[in-house]
Amino acid sequence: MSGLSTHVLDAVHGAPAVGLRVSLFHAKNGEIATATTDADGRVPELLPAPIEVGNYRLSFDTGSYFEVLNTPTFYPEVSVSFTVTDPNAHHHVPLLLSPFAYSTYRGS
């Protein structure tokens, strides 16, 4: 597997974050991809390999997601910046989400 994927879990509801909009930005090229999480909270291939070496940012539209659930949130958007150094490696960026906290890590 290669390319870029993400997985969003809603920690408050103990379930995948379904229907959450995710946008990918490249430092030099601006927005290069947009997708919505599936029934498992995943975007399995936001960008196929090879991925250009450089700096990227994933933007998760958490405000709209929690608005649909009628849940107030402190973070209307979560942005995760990362660097690609190996264009052929798989890059997985998971997000664990709640209305007042979030965490992320480099997944496999």
Max Cα separation, the chain?
41
Please report, for the chain, the start and end positions of each structural domain, with discontinuous segments joined by +: 3-104
Read off the pLDDT of each residue in 50-66 and give the average, rounded to a whole number: 96
Residues 67 and 58: their CA atoms lie apart, in Å, by 20
37 pLDDT more than 60: yes
Read off the pLDDT of each residue in 3-12 and give the average, rounded to a whole number: 96
Place of tokens 């103990």: 14
Q: Can you give the pLDDT at residue 1?
A: 57
Q: Which fold has domain 3-104?
A: Immunoglobulin-like (2.60.40)
49 pLDDT more than 90: no
The two tokens of residue 47 are 């960008």
